[in-house]
Chains A and B, each alone.
Chain A
Amino acid sequence: MINWDVIFSVSLESLVGATTIVYALAAIGLNVHFGYAGLLNFGQSAFLGVAAYGMAITVSTFDLPFWLGILVGLAATVVLALLLGIPTLRLRADYLAIVTIAAAEIVRLLFRSVSLSEWTGGSDGLQSFSQSFYDLNPYSGGISTTLISFSARELWIITVGWIVVALALFIVWLLMRSPWGRVIKAIREDEDAVRSLGKSVFAYKMQALILGGVLGSFGGYIFALSLAAIQPDTYGTEFTFYMYTIVILGGAARVLGPVVGSMIFWLLLTFINALLPALVSAGTIPTSIMTTNQAGAVGYILVGVGLILLLIFRPQGIFGDKKEVMLDAR
């Protein structure tokens, strides 16, 4: 017997849940880099990582206030953007991709290194930094309906998360319809043309790198706070690859693209990962095809196939304009 209620409720919860918010914020930042400015940043996970660690180390290791932790995290994000940008933004786009993917791994390995474990907690990471955040929780109890249920803690992080998402979208929307956004999009098309028109391409690329990193860093905070713990290995390269998937799924250089992309991505993944084991246990799928242990991996395979089909039949993503994508072919 398949318990459809549970499958639907976990799917619905994932649509608005903390994970969707984290990836939406990370992808909003990545969309500024990749979608608008054409910067191939493959180290977005590092921006989320330094922000989360900046906050956690400040609060957990040094016992300083939560708000100071947020500021330290933001400062760390800006410093990372400067460190990555100064040597690479003058080079061709693909060099940025190589350097950022390497930098993200360096950052992750630093967080898990033994010699720094006194501050970072090594591969175990850090806990007990989120109390001040949950002390602010105005919800006294959770909600529980037939379809969805969230605890008070979950409600609080979801509320804060979606407010931050809305603010991030508003900022991106404002900027991308301004002359500043026009320069950014023009840089994506052709840097030399923009230079020949009297704009400092380097300065704009740096601003875009910092902006996207800072927007993404809020995803890092929500991620750490929702789990009330941080672990270095969650900030690996596959984190960034999921973000790229989401940006492309939603439609690059579209304001709402990353949010809708994140919702669809996690809805699909959660639904399939709930459905397959249920089908196996109910005997609908015989164990000769897959066992419940294998169902998880098959879920990812199915989502992967779905994304490939999407890119073939709708390369512009959900919000994109096919005409615009085809201009690339020239």
Chain B
Amino acid sequence: MPGEPTGAAPARAGSTARDRATEALRDVAREPGAAKPDPILVADGVVRRFGGLTAVNVNHVEIQRGAITALIGPNGAGKTTFFNLLTGFDRPDEGQWKFNGDAVQGVPPHKVARRGMVRTFQLTKALSRLSVIDNMRLGAVGQKGETFWRALIPSLWRKQEAEITERADALLERFKLDKKREDFAGSLSGGQRKLLEMARALMVEPHMVMLDEPMAGVNPALTQSLLGHVKNLREDGMTVLFVEHDMDMVRDISDWVIVMAQGQVIAEGTPDSVMADPRVIDAYLGAHHDGAPDPSAPIDNEPAAGPKATDGPAERE
């Protein structure tokens, strides 16, 4: 594993996307709602209530462009709900957010995707009775053959279809799914479906990829390859925001970590600074004691143990 960026490595600006992200985030305050030098996404006052329960109540959050940001928090913290709000799959009660400088609140999900913010799902959504290659082709935007009348005349879309197929095949090869090209997506294993979903999202050519628990239910042999793919997204110039419970993965790949608990952002920082933060440890281990949190007691416990133990298969806020 590459060493954690503790400032020891004098990052030669521009060497890799990882170094650039580290460099850009070095002077950012380690506090909730910290301003970033070049945010791709800025959210303000986002509130979502379900009856009497306030599932999400985010005052201010910024996501740095070109970096991998992890969104962590105990079950029921509102991470997935926040994801759904940002991508248009759910409507907020209050709040606004800007993606690439444009307001996107109230925009339907398919238009959010077309603007370059593409998500995957916690429960993988492979299109079972479509072949793997058709899953991939579907991801391409601006297809002429997707309009009803033009679909009837193959000569209008055949050339574009060939280009899309070429791009899809290249991605399948990169994600090592090329041997499954003609199989039904429903016949793939859980890990392969995660890979397919990520590859399919890339067919949209997004600026920002939002991964909801990319490692959930993936067999350990595939984990490393998935991690590599996520890191490659950053090298290709994309911004990644992901929800994850696995602290080892968060530590390994993220440049920045945002912690949510009970709907609010309670901490932000680099992986190391966040995991040493007493508020985070309290949120995970449930410190219900009176007064100020006592940092000494929970630190005796391995902080990663809490989140791992709370790893749940079906989180619905």
B184 close to A323 (CB less than 8 A): yes
Interface 1/0s, chain A 153-192, versus B by CB < 8 A? 0000000000000000001001100111111011011101
A interface, by DSSP: helix, strand, loop or mixed? Answer: helix
A197 touches which of B118, B129, B130, B145 (Cβ 8 Å):
B118
**Residues of chain A lying within 8 A (CB to CB) of residue B203:** 197
Whether, in the assembled complex, B249 has its beta carbon less than 8 Å from a beta carbon of chain A, the answer is no
C-alpha gap A109/B154 in the complex (Å): 43
B130 close to A180 (CB less than 8 A): no
A201 touches which of B110, B128, B145, B186 (Cβ 8 Å):
B110
A330 close to B186 (CB less than 8 A): yes
B130 close to A195 (CB less than 8 A): no
Whether, in the assembled complex, B231 has its beta carbon less than 8 Å from a beta carbon of chain A, the answer is no
B204 close to A198 (CB less than 8 A): yes
B145 close to A180 (CB less than 8 A): yes
A193 to chain B minimum Cβ distance, whole angstroms, is: 4
B129 close to A324 (CB less than 8 A): yes
Closest to A185 in B: B130
Q: Interface size for chain A: under 10, 10 to 19, 20 to 34, or 35 or more residues?
A: 20 to 34
C-alpha gap A131/B296 in the complex (Å): 95
B125 close to A192 (CB less than 8 A): yes
A177 to chain B minimum Cβ distance, whole angstroms, is: 8
Whether, in the assembled complex, B49 has its beta carbon less than 8 Å from a beta carbon of chain A, the answer is no
Q: Which of A171, A178, A181, A200 has the most CB of B within 10 A?
A: A178
C-alpha gap A171/B149 in the complex (Å): 11
A174 close to B109 (CB less than 8 A): no
Whether, in the assembled complex, A245 has its beta carbon less than 8 Å from a beta carbon of chain B, the answer is no
B110 close to A198 (CB less than 8 A): yes
Q: Which of B113, B120, B137 has the most CB of A within 10 A?
A: B113
Closest to A195 in B: B109
A199 close to B146 (CB less than 8 A): yes
Whether, in the assembled complex, A194 has its beta carbon less than 8 Å from a beta carbon of chain B, the answer is yes
B127 close to A193 (CB less than 8 A): yes
B138 touches which of A178, A194, A323, A327 (Cβ 8 Å):
A194
A179-B184 contact in complex given A195-B110, A197-B204, C-beta closer than 8 Å: no
A324 touches which of B138, B152, B184 (Cβ 8 Å):
B184
Q: List 10 A-B pairs, minimum CB-CB distance, nearest first.
A: A179-B145, A180-B151, A327-B186, A178-B151, A193-B125, A198-B113, A189-B127, A198-B114, A195-B109, A190-B125
24 contacts between A and B (CB under 8 A): A175-B148, A178-B151, A178-B154, A179-B143, A179-B146, A180-B148, A182-B134, A182-B138, A185-B134, A186-B135, A192-B89, A194-B110, A195-B89, A195-B110, A196-B119, A196-B120, A197-B201, A198-B111, A198-B118, A199-B146, A211-B148, A323-B184, A324-B129, A324-B184
Contacts from A to B (Cβ < 8 Å): 171, 174-175, 178-183, 185-186, 188-190, 192-201, 207, 211, 323-324, 327-328, 330
